[in-house]
Structure 1
Amino acid sequence: MMSDQRLRVLIIGGGFGGLFCARRLAGVDVDVTVLDRAAGHLFQPLLYQCATGKLSIGHISRPLREEFARHRNVRTLLGEAVELDPDARTVTAMRPDETTFTVEYDVLIIAAGMRQSYLGNEHFAQWAPGMKTLDDALDIRQRLFTAFEIAETLPPGPERTSWLTFAVAGGGPTGVELAGQIREVATRTLAKEFHSIRPEDARVLLFDGGDSVLKSFAPKLAMKANETLRDLGVELHFGVHVTDVRRDGVTVTPKKGGPEEHFETRTVLWTAGVEAVPFARHVAKVLGAESDRAGRIAVEPDLTVAGHPEIFVIGDLAGRDQLPGVAENAMQGGLHAASCVRRDLAGRARRPYRYRDLGSAAYISHGHALLQVGPVRVSGYPGWLAWGLLHIAFLTGVSNRISTVATWLASIARAGRYHRAFMLGASDRHDERYTYSSWDLPEPPPETRGVSAG
């Protein structure tokens, strides 16, 4: 039960960092509040499989209330943190209807994560969704499968070709996984379902500024990924930046100079960068903490902000020792922050945070995945099996693990994807009944206020 006398721990974010921290504090003599803008935990490493119809939303997400129902000292609240008062030790949060409420804390753990960055080109977002949220996944699913449907209704020619061309910006794990999955959808899932088009003729273009995909992987594994993608039919374009995204195409510019190149495509997916959420930038400003270009906040060896031993920053937002923006870092950071709280209660000194690299993995297509753990390098079918076991182990909830395994086994036996349903908007329905999307936008000019953009 909650108590006014116990230490109050506020965790902002229900991702891997917040989840693992709250789990470790469950049953401890403290009151824990988990504040999350979606009130659920999302298994982001499998988000692309939801976007391409292999898994459902329920496979990769779980309500935080369900997760902590057995733990009476943990409560969850729906809201987005918007303001920090370090003197009063309060956080102001916004409800989805844009009213606000205040949460008090003794210890604050900021695990809010990062959001998609368009590198200063925010207008790209209209035509190029990122891959960070369930909304992103459903948006991509709609765009992907609608493109094939529209192409079926068009005569042969440039317009049909543009609908059957898919562009992915960014050659990291998410970009590679998306590109490989789109080709698999085209050549395996949809190959025999259309009459006027050949889905297997769909082009998938992947653009990256480096000279290879998966630059964080060992060189041999990265080269193996290049070869596998090319074998699948993905067209790799290295050494370029995407400098324009519009309704009917993209423009890329060589990094070393040269003429621009234009590609006609109706589906562009963006995985090229991340940046801190607005609240993290607000926190850095209020606390006078240093932050890097992406908004990561400088932290002490124990992951607290200098001068504020009661405020931890973990996961992607922790700017120290080039900590990677991966799930393992968030999990370990959450466990570390919880350990510090427990040590404080026991009157013991805190330990510095030490990140342990548990390896990296990337799924390209059925039977093709990469895994590196220390000196171990695995690719192809063995890598695919190891990748599956690793992801199943970290999925939240036993039912999610069982249903995900069953779905994967079914997809091995048959080419079909069982979660391809998508919804199209209707003119008589509001797109968003509740939204956080407007609170941090600049004030519109007086002459445009009240004018619908619809």
Structure 2
Amino acid sequence: MIIGSGFGGLTAAKTLKRANADVTLIARTTHHLFQPLLYQVATGIISEGEIAPPTRQILKDQDNAQVVLGDVTSIDLEKQVVHSSLLGHDYSTPYDSLIVAAGAGQSYFGNDHFAEWAPGMKSIDDALELRGRILGAFEQAERSSDPVRRRKLMTFTVVGAGPTGVEMAGQIAELANETLKGTFRHIDPTDARVILLDAAPAVLPPFGPKLGDKARKRLEKLGVEIQLSAMVTDVDRNGLTVKHADGTIERIESWCKVWSAGVSASPLGKNLAEQSGVELDRAGRVKVGPDLSIPGHPNVFVVGDMMAVDGVPGWHRVPSRADATPPSRSRPSSRGAAPPSVRHSSSSTRGRWPPCRGTAQWSRSERSSSAGSSPGSAGWRCTWSISSASRIAW
């Protein structure tokens, strides 16, 4: 049995394709999510379907594998049973060998109430929520005659200067300075203020000073304001409070806030530790052996963002898998095309389509359509809209 359909779980399932074993993969979603590109969904560069192919579709030709939907609530190591729930019904599934790849979630460092006002970016729902808030901020500013309110609406704050935060801040700045430039009548999107904050003294601290300095200069060139050694102490509807290294307190009025400051491993790690005595690190990751098993249970393995392992030659722990890609600025020439890593999940005609810039997505025109037509010709149009899934508190 495999818990989780992320990189670790899906790789494990595919690796067992020719094994003499029945493979059951259980996950809380029906798709595999390519998390490194969530920030592009959040800013409308790509659609959510391009980074979330159905797990069953991926494994449909693997005869020894089945996918079941469910939220794993606990693991009984003694009885070798996984307990899960789905739509109010409880299930118990026995296993011979278990691979736990339940990943990690957003960490607010004990301030979970921040989540209401500063969403993280760990799921498709998170990205769609942020897309609505980001684009909604410009739309509200367009209709507001109050300069103070406009300034708050057009101030975007990103907490956390790791890869996700760097990418997000840069993409919002590019959205304001390039994609939306000249498209509004009552506001100038280039007046938007994008602020990147981190309690650490450097950008991209896990990647060393050379890369961090390069990312900082690139962001500053895009117009992003960077505040380092700046700890966010409070977040509310209208903004956030920051404590700087010299002890000064600053209040930033900002309607749209993004949280990318930390991760914590799945609570299943604690569940395993309580039964087996295995150690957890500060982020809740399970300290496994060189073969990724937990002590006393050679048939139970922990992989991906849930695991912590030291002392293995050639192995070095990196930040969360979702944050494992270097910062990059999407090139306009590739806009509208599926990212190479997930291109298999999009239309076979995608490669023929001209780029669709910024927050735009290609869609079939309701007024005219012709078989075989492509974007840029009759029957197609380039458009964007606020996500209907967003739950915006206007």
- TM-score, normalized by length of structure 2? 0.86
Which of 319, 324, 348 is matched with 2:318 structurally?
A: 324
CA distance in 1, matches of 2:299, 2:359: 51
- 3-state SS in 2 of match to 1:94: strand
Which of 327, 351, 357 is matched with 1:362 structurally?
A: 327
Q: Alpha-carbon deviation of 1:279?
A: 2.2
Residue number in structure 1 paired with 2:76: 85
Residue number in structure 2 paired with 1:33: 24
Asked if 1:11 is matched to 2:5, the reply is no
- 3-state SS in 1 of match to 2:32: strand
Residue number in structure 2 paired with 1:260: 249
Q: Alpha-carbon deviation of 1:404?
A: 6.9
Which of 42, 45, 60 is matched with 2:33 structurally?
A: 42
Q: CA RMSD in A?
A: 2.5
1:385-419 per-position Cα deviation (integer Å, ceiling 9, x unaligned): 9xx99x62x43x62438677667x604xx455227
Residue number in structure 2 paired with 1:275: 264
CA distance in 2, matches of 1:261, 1:362: 28
CA distance in 1, matches of 2:102, 2:58: 18
CA distance in 2, matches of 1:43, 1:197: 35
Q: Alpha-carbon deviation of 1:220?
A: 2.3
Residue number in structure 2 paired with 1:336: none
The AA in structure 2 aligned to 1:258 is G
4+ residue segments displaced more than 4 Å: 401-407
- 3-state SS in 2 of match to 1:146: helix
Which of 388, 392, 417 is matched with 2:360 structurally?
A: 417
Matches within 5 A, 1:350-429: 360-366=325-331, 392=340, 394-395=341-342, 398-400=344-346, 410-411=355-356, 414-415=357-358, 417-418=360-361, 420-424=384-388
Residues 1:405 and 1:239: Cα distance change in structure 2 (over 3 Å):
farther
- 3-state SS in 1 of match to 2:211: helix
The AA in structure 2 aligned to 1:316 is D
Residue number in structure 2 paired with 1:65: 56
Residue number in structure 2 paired with 1:133: 123
Matches within 5 A, 1:205-244: 205-244=195-234
Asked if 1:154 is matched to 2:154, the reply is no
Q: Alpha-carbon deviation of 1:197?
A: 0.4
Q: Alpha-carbon deviation of 1:199?
A: 0.7
CA distance in 2, matches of 1:13, 1:317: 11
Asked if 1:75 is matched to 2:66, the reply is yes
127-136 or 272-281, larger mean C-alpha shift: 272-281
CA distance in 1, matches of 2:264, 2:73: 16
- 3-state SS in 2 of match to 1:363: coil
Does the CA-based 8 Å contact 1:12-1:18 persist in structure 2? yes
Which of 168, 191, 198 is matched with 1:178 structurally?
A: 168
- 3-state SS in 2 of match to 1:216: helix
- 3-state SS in 2 of match to 1:236: strand
Provide the identity percentage.
Answer: 41
Residues 1:113 and 1:187: Cα distance change in structure 2 (over 3 Å):
same
CA distance in 2, matches of 1:108, 1:62: 24
CA distance in 2, matches of 1:364, 1:213: 16
Q: Alpha-carbon deviation of 1:211?
A: 2.4
CA distance in 1, matches of 2:40, 2:325: 18
The AA in structure 2 aligned to 1:72 is D
Matches within 5 A, 1:93-172: 93-95=84-86, 97-172=87-162
1:104-157 per-position Cα deviation (integer Å, ceiling 9, x unaligned): 111000000000000110000000000100010000001000100100111141
1:275-314 per-position Cα deviation (integer Å, ceiling 9, x unaligned): 0222222122122211112110111111000110000000
Residues 1:415 and 1:318: Cα distance change in structure 2 (over 3 Å):
closer
CA distance in 1, matches of 2:168, 2:351: 20
CA distance in 1, matches of 2:348, 2:232: 40
Which of 298, 306, 324 is matched with 2:287 structurally?
A: 298
Does the CA-based 8 Å contact 2:177-2:190 persist in structure 1? yes
Residues 1:282 and 1:265: Cα distance change in structure 2 (over 3 Å):
same
Q: Alpha-carbon deviation of 1:327?
A: 3.6
1:14-49 per-position Cα deviation (integer Å, ceiling 9, x unaligned): 000011110111132100000000021000011110
Does the CA-based 8 Å contact 2:263-2:320 persist in structure 1? no
- 3-state SS in 2 of match to 1:244: strand
Does the CA-based 8 Å contact 2:31-2:52 persist in structure 1? yes
CA distance in 2, matches of 1:208, 1:406: 41
Q: Alpha-carbon deviation of 1:425?
A: 6.9
Does the CA-based 8 Å contact 1:84-1:286 persist in structure 2? no
- 3-state SS in 1 of match to 2:235: strand
Does the CA-based 8 Å contact 1:54-1:417 persist in structure 2? yes
Residues 1:13 and 1:417: Cα distance change in structure 2 (over 3 Å):
same
Residues 1:424 and 1:41: Cα distance change in structure 2 (over 3 Å):
closer
Q: How many residues align?
A: 364
Matches within 5 A, 1:423-438: 423-424=387-388
Point out where structure 1 has 5 or more consecutive residues left out of the alignment. 1-9, 330-358, 368-380, 432-454
CA distance in 2, matches of 1:247, 1:406: 44
Residues 1:163 and 1:51: Cα distance change in structure 2 (over 3 Å):
same
- 3-state SS in 2 of match to 1:62: coil
CA distance in 2, matches of 1:60, 1:208: 28
Does the CA-based 8 Å contact 2:44-2:358 persist in structure 1? no
Point out where structure 2 has 5 or more consecutive residues left out of the alignment. 311-315, 362-382
- 3-state SS in 2 of match to 1:40: coil
- TM-score, normalized by length of structure 1? 0.75
Does the CA-based 8 Å contact 2:240-2:252 persist in structure 1? yes
